[in-house]
Structure 1
């Protein structure tokens, strides 16, 4: 009996000394965000371009605003506006997502107010809106809309766990397990660049997490590549844009100038 108690105490001590890796953590600011405008293309996994867009970033004081925008060839639209602060650590302020058109299973809009914990979701069926609002204890370090930014700042030598709000009529907190993986070499003309590759696994907690794989609702892994540099830069993402999309690929692209037009009288 005494031996069993000693083993139990030993196990408890180990748990206290080495906390679960599932515990979320804040990401320190290693690279200050500022003003950015990047040209993007969205492709299927087999390389077909389906949308073009941009990632725009502006800052005012300590508040940074990101906008990820895609215009699809079929007329669909994806627009995500994320606001956050970066005083020592990245802190989500708000996240707004609009998706509409045939590229998505359902037209929808969602708003996350991190400070007040208000999650609002508006869906449309037969042109009629349905809006729900719920209260949720949103972690200040929620990763919504911040994956590209966080990937430039997290420790590339170990796994990082971040919370994220799954915005829906019944919102919940899920965990993003961001793990380093083998990078790849990319080329810019004759210049060779090395990248840091991260694999992002979404883990749903509780009974829902056990059932999700059985029902085919487990989110697929996402992948992100960052150029290794004193100024790390996003170069590629592969994963779903939202909960109801297939795996797509986001890549940087170079805008092409219009061909010179012949002079007309």
Structure 2
């Protein structure tokens, strides 16, 4: 679905942040090197992209990268480095979305240590514009590794919030409310496993939330299925890519739901 880019930027510029204090998630499961594959399907079950996930660990720093290659040639490429030292803390995040699938391409970098946020855009004449600015970022900023946080909270956790820097208007801080929903059975590589379903709700409060619903810019909730146990894993993510457009399902290759 097409979006008016100026309207999107103006809307997020109005977004009100929740007042909840930063609450970094404690490390329960140390992340290790891994390499996995994902498949993205539309609501009618058609495969629209395939993804590759890799994770490298150096000391207490983890660098993860998730790249989706779409059948129409589009690319969604996100690289994130975070620390797992008692609690999880973002180091840097670089997210690129480009191609016909995305009506508003992005090239957005967050350097948490220096608190520098950089946006790269290309105008209609092909000229590259780079805008960098200093921002007051919360300690619980979770760009790029919300899924990792879900691996480290109990299945019956109380709802909690984390920060997210949206790549619009040079960077707009919003809050995500994360709540456990229920448990479901998932089949993976011949095993029947229990998974906790988490709901991620972007909080747009007050008049902003009302306007969002009226003009159709309210981001939809994201649902995440997380395998329980000693080695938890994100199995399925259902939501919008980039916070707008159609809802898609990103599944770990080999996973399916029990009836």
What TM-score do you get using the length of structure 2 for normalisation? 0.84
- List aligned pairs for 1:24-173, cutoff 5 A: 24-126=22-124, 127-157=126-156, 158-173=158-173
Report what 2:196 is aligned to: 196
Report the alpha carbon displacement of residue 141 of structure 1 after superposing the two structures with TM.
1.9
Report which of the two structures shows the higher radius of gyration computed on alpha carbons. 1
Alpha-carbon distance between aligned partners in 1 of 2:171 and 2:208, rounded to the nearest angstrom: 12
Aligned residue for 1:233?
A: 233
Partner residue of 1:243?
Answer: 243
Cα distance, 1:214 vs structure 2:
2.7
- Alpha-carbon distance change, 190 to 86 in structure 1, aligned in 2, over 3 angstroms: closer
1:58-113 CA deviation, whole Å, 9 max, x = no partner?
Answer: 01112110101011111111100000000000000110011111010022200011
SS of residue paired to 1:184:
strand
Q: Note the 1:4-15 alignment, pairs <5 A.
A: none
Aligned counterparts of 1:135 and 1:100: Cα–Cα separation in 2: 25
Task: Tell whether the 8 Å contact from 2:106 to 2:167 is kept in structure 1 after alignment.
Answer: no
Secondary structure at 2:242 match in 1: coil
| C-alpha distance in 2 between matches for 1:125 and 1:95 | 23
Listed one character per residue, the Cα deviations across residues 126-170 of structure 1 (whole Å, up to 9, x for unaligned) are 333333223211112211101110111123321111111112224
* Runs of 4+ in structure 1 over 4 Å off: none
Q: What root-mean-square deviation, in Å, do the aligned CA atoms of Structure 1 and Structure 2 show?
A: 2.0
Structure 2 Cα separation of the partners of residues 130 and 120 of structure 1: 10
TM-score with structure 1 setting the length: 0.82
SS in 1 for 2:114: coil
Contact 1:133 1:169 in 2 (8 A): no
Distance of 1:166 and 1:188 partners within structure 2: 33
CA apart distance, 1:244: 3.9
Contact 2:217 2:244 in 1 (8 A): no
Conserved 8 A contact 2:196-2:225: yes
Return the alpha-carbon distance in structure 2 between the equivalents of residues 209 and 171 of structure 1.
19
More moved, 172-181 vs 199-208:
199-208
- CA separation of 1:206/1:129 partners in 2, compared to 1, >3 Å: closer, same or farther? farther
Q: Which residue of 2 aligns with 1:178?
A: 178
Q: Which runs of no fewer than 5 residues in structure 1 stay unpaired? A: 1-19, 255-265
Counterpart of 1:3 in structure 2 is none
1:164 and 1:174 in contact (8 A); partners too: yes
1:30 aligns to what SS in structure 2?
Answer: coil
Q: Deviations over 1:177-209 (max 9, x none)?
A: 110011221224763211100000001357544
- The separation in 2 between residues aligned to 1:184 and 1:222, in whole angstroms, is 16
Q: Looking at both structures, which has the greater relative contact order when contacts are Cα pairs under 8 Å and sequence separation is at least 6?
A: 2
